[in-house]
Amino acid sequence: MIGIVDYKMGNLASVRKALEYIHRECRITDDPEFIASCDALILPGVGAFAPAMEALKDKGLDAAVRKFAASGKPLLGICLGMQLLFSESEEGAGEDGNVKGLDLIPGSVRKFPSSATVDKGLKVPQMGWNKLEDVTGSLLREGDYVYFVHSFYCDPEDKAFAAAYAEYGIKYVCAVQKDNLFATQFHPEKSGEAGLQILDRFARRIKK
């Protein structure tokens, strides 16, 4: 069973439909106990970082995701879900500094610099298809085109966790892999056949 974490900020139906299309049993859930029982977990997300962290905390889902990550079972973050796995984000930063994340992957979430995007005629958010480059992650394939919608990007402290890069004004990490943790800034569930293959490879990580 693959659990899809429901904290009211994710593209849940699209993820579920994609998993059902590749014949994988899944369930949308906000129950920490059920999450713990799952064979694999997906943390999707659409929206802003700070409200997302608050939503996770409100139902104890932040602790549930951390506990699941520690179990060694496969966990996949998608888009905002990838960003939430990081230590902190510039999005919503205040006088107390950056907004704290789940801190499962050391590093920060940063805004695309204007000098690299606006000054080059690129719109933020990046919205549309882009190519995967310098792929090392086991779920991904070099040169695949996948679908992005985001204004911030992830900057891991240890670039050894970078599973793929993309180019949008700057070259940035668009996917990470750390032990049983996988995450993509793009949306595999909206990325056609390439995205379905990524989800299938993730599901194959489940131990029988």
pLDDT above 90 as % of the chain? 87
Q: Is residue 110 part of a domain?
A: yes
Among 38, 91, 150, 187, the active-site one is: 187
The CATH number linked to 34 is 3.40.50.880
Q: Is residue 208 part of a domain?
A: no
| Three-class DSSP labels, 172-183 | EEEEEEECCEEE
Q: Is residue 8 part of a domain?
A: yes
Contact predicate 38/65, CB 8 Å: no
Q: Is residue 97 part of a domain?
A: no
* Residue 47 one-letter amino acid: G
Q: Is residue 36 part of a domain?
A: yes
Domain count along the chain: 1
Among 26, 88, 91, 189, the active-site one is: 189
Each residue of 180-200: pLDDT tens digit?
999 999 999 999 999 999 999
Question: What φ, ψ does residue 163 adopt, rounded to 5°?
Answer: -100, -20
Each residue of 29-59: pLDDT tens digit?
999 999 999 999 999 999 999 999 999 999 9
Each residue of 115-124: pLDDT tens digit?
877 777 888 8
Q: Is residue 145 part of a domain?
A: yes
Q: Is residue 69 part of a domain?
A: yes
Is 189 noted as a catalytic residue in this protein?
yes
Q: Is residue 59 part of a domain?
A: yes
Is 187 noted as a catalytic residue in this protein?
yes
In DSSP notation, 3-51 reads: EEE-SS-S-HHHHHHHHHHTT--EEEE--HHHHHH-SEEEE---S-HHH
* pLDDT of residue 105 exceeding 80: yes
Residue 87: which domain range?
Answer: 2-92+102-203
How buried is residue 85: exposed, middle or buried, by Cβ count under 10 Å (0-12/13-18/19+)? buried
Among 79, 88, 91, 174, the active-site one is: 79
